[in-house]
Structure 1
């Protein structure tokens, strides 16, 4: 896993053989962050990274100067890896929760400007993730929710869908409530 840009750009971390996550590709991350950096001033943004896996996407936000990042990961080995990387990089503006994402969504009192979710592609009821996030009050006004998904899913008819970006096999659907 490599951090593509920003303060920690080029840093590589190896999660080991026990890792079962499918990290977002460098090409997809680079494309996504080219879009986001042109739209948002990260220094004023609080980010929520759901199904964090390696924490790769949250590190990109932190590396590029976001105000704060919260990561939620249920797998203990993944959670432990995220904590190790945060310690190595001496990141102070992040929190990590070892929790079920759906339970976290119903309990968190915070507002986030950017919510990113990269659920396992074989997650039962994958298509319900968008509604699970957007039915909460976690997305700040003028905030964006980004869902990474395989091409088999089409969210273009969702009431809050705004756009789709494709990078190879990686698809990002953007949602806004405003």
Structure 2
């Protein structure tokens, strides 16, 4: 599928994606999936191909969003929607619970803490949601709630990727 080449866009590498979806093998089928910084849409499209019930992809870059829409049409994928929006603005509204959430924001923009807070505060997470965070290796994540248990963690190059499981409060 074509991918829009935007400045700062870092599609998740195939190796990382393979590891991630091995971790999520039992979680994605029939799941409601939210991809907050969709970019190329790789994580969302992969989820749909693995029988996710519904995938919502958020993308702020107009051209990247346009490419996502085009790819959705090409695939005739009725279970995927791409919304042109700022993830932080979108998450401020009351949410519907999602089972799998991908958080892969632009590096060094300080977006993670706000996103994590809004996901919890506004009802975007199901009771036992799986939350994937991909960030620069040196970043420490301070805002992770105590009921998010680190399930898996790996590094690849300059990237650290983590999978958390939310435990019901």
Fold similarity call, TM over 0.5:
yes
Query: Residue in 2 aligned with 1:10?
Result: none
Structure 1 residue 157: Cα displacement: 8.0
Judged with a 3 Å threshold, the aligned counterparts in structure 2 of structure 1 residues 52 and 79 are, in CA distance, closer, same or farther, namely same
Query: Residue in 1 aligned with 2:166?
Result: 176
Alpha-carbon distance in 2 for matches of 1:162, 1:69 = 24
Alpha-carbon distance in 1 for matches of 2:125, 2:62 = 26
Alpha-carbon distance in 2 for matches of 1:17, 1:95 = 20
The 5-angstrom pairing of residues 6-85 of structure 1 reads 13-18=1-6, 20-37=8-25, 39-40=26-27, 42-85=28-71
Give SS of 1:165's match: strand
Judged with a 3 Å threshold, the aligned counterparts in structure 2 of structure 1 residues 122 and 154 are, in CA distance, closer, same or farther, namely closer
Q: How many residues align?
A: 164
Unaligned runs of 5+ in 2: none
- The equivalent position to 2:116 in structure 1, one of 118, 121, 130, is 130
Give SS of 1:22's match: coil
1:97 matched to 2:86? The reply is no
Give SS of 1:154's match: coil
Alpha-carbon distance in 1 for matches of 2:72, 2:2 = 14
Which has the larger displacement, 14-23 or 66-75?
14-23
After TM superposition, the score normalised by the length of structure 1 is 0.82
Structure 1 residue 171: Cα displacement: 2.1
Give SS of 1:153's match: coil
- Root-mean-square deviation (CA, aligned residues, Å) is 2.1
Structure 1 residue 108: Cα displacement: 4.8
Query: Residue in 1 aligned with 2:102?
Result: 116
Query: Residue in 2 aligned with 1:162?
Result: 149
C-alpha distance after superposition, 1:93-131 (max 9, x if no partner): 011110110111122532211111110012234444322
Query: Residue in 1 aligned with 2:139?
Result: 153
**Contact 1:71 1:95 (C-alpha < 8 Å) held by counterparts:** yes
Give SS of 1:43's match: coil
Unaligned runs of 5+ in 1: 1-12
Give SS of 2:35's match: strand
